[in-house]
């Protein structure tokens, strides 16, 4: 499900942190997966001998997942990260389940509740705000 939707992410493959879409309620909620492997380039230096997915990249994965709920052709920039909490490390071999739900819209801003879990255990959660520009919008 959703390989066409994944291709809408503006990120190159080397910076895409969403591998698959499991569930989608367009404009409302999405559930995606990120498979963390020892081959991920960022794990080579974070940390040698004890690789961990950096928290900032976990937030990026949650933001990319939220971005899948935007209208086709829209672009977005990360505007705010609120109440980010990291509950457990994410390591090679983990499959991260990422959930994003649209909470509010105000003008060009979209607020999302996001969660990342591994084997049913919460790894991270936050509220993310994206600044969205729709196709043809010259005000953003």
- Which residues are the active-site residues? 46
Which of 92, 60, 88, 91 shows the shortest CA–CA distance to 76? Answer: 60
Give the DSSP H/E element, type plus range, for residue 97.
strand 95-106
- Is the Cβ–Cβ distance between 35 and 19 less than 8 Å? yes
Distances (CA, A) of 13 to 17, 19, 26, 45, 103: 8, 10, 23, 19, 28
Distance CA 3, CA 127 (A): 26
Helix (H, G, I), strand (E, B) or coil at 80: strand
- Is the Cβ–Cβ distance between 109 and 70 less than 8 Å? no
């Amino acid at each position: 499900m959703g390989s066409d939707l994944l291709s809408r992410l503006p990120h190159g493959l080397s910076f895409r942190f969403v591998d698959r879409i499991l569930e989608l309620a367009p404009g409302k909620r999405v559930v995606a997966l990120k498979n963390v492997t020892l081959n991920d380039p960022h794990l080579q230096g974070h940390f040698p001998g004890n690789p961990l997915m950096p928290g900032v990249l976990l937030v990026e994965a949650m933001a990319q997942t939220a971005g899948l709920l935007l209208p086709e052709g829209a672009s977005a920039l990360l505007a705010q990260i609120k109440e980010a909490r990291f509950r457990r490390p994410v390591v090679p071999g983990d499959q991260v389940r990422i959930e994003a739900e649209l909470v509010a819209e105000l003008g060009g801003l979209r607020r999302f509740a996001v969660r990342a879990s591994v084997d049913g255990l919460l790894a991270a959660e936050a509220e993310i705000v994206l600044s969205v520009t729709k196709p043809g919008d010259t005000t953003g």
